[in-house]
Every structure is written in C-alpha cells, then in structure tokens.
Amino acid sequence: MTSKQNATITNIDYDKPPEDAAEAAEAEAEDRRHVLQVPTGDGENLELVLPKRWKRFKFMRRMSSGDLWGAIEAIGFAEEQLDRLEEADISEEEFEQAVRTLGESLTGKSEGKSSNSKD
C-alpha cells in the first residue's frame, strides 16, 4: 500500500508554506506569490500559481459555504491551470483536501481551529 500525499502550498521565493495569516500577508506585501501543489494519480504534482490579485472575500465566502469549485474560481487561476486541474487524475477527496489546504494557508487557520478555542 502506498502512502497518500497531501497537497501543499509554498511561496515561490521560499520553499516552505506560510506559518500563519501574518506570514501570508507579509509574503503578499513582499510580492511573493504562492504555488499550490496537488499530487496527481501518476505520481506527479500539478502546480497552480496564485495570481497577485484575487477575490479574497468571495473565496472565503465560497469556502465557508462548502462551494470548493467556486472558491477555486474566485482565486482567478489562469484558464490553462483550471483546465489542468479539471483533467487531473485525483479523487474528489484529494481535490477537497487540496482546496482546504489552500484555504488554511491563505487564512492562517486549519479547519476546526478557532482563535477562541481553549486547548
């Protein structure tokens, strides 16, 4: 049995994901763009480069309502990138995980984690 790879998001200029929303904002201020890497069934990674400007609030509303494809469209990836994503050999669960990873990275929160939790 092979281990399942998860999607990752990295800064183009730095090979690590932002730690939180503040670091993501700093990366944006420094004009560093992010890359979403989605593992595909053929062992390759599909790389989607986030544009410099995108509809953040629309993205967050779509994510909170569970409209994952709408969230992807709100980002405004290039048409070529969306076509590759639609044709990628990934399951629905892998797609959902990739979009949630993207959302967590851009908002600095993981699902189920709230700023008022008392852990």
Mean pLDDT over residues 62-73, rounded?
A: 88
Residue 14: per-residue pLDDT: 46
The pLDDT tens digits for 24-33 are 667 666 656 6
Residue 11: per-residue pLDDT: 52
CA distance 113 to 104: 10
**What percent of the chain lies above the pLDDT cut of 70?**
62
Please check whether residue 90 is in contact with residue 41, taking contact to mean a CB–CB distance below 8 angstroms: yes
Length of the chain: 119
- Residue 8 CB-half CA count within 13 A: 12
Structure tokens at 22: 């503040």
Structure tokens at 61: 């509303």
pTM beyond 0.85: the answer is: no
**Top-confidence residue, 15 or 74:** 74
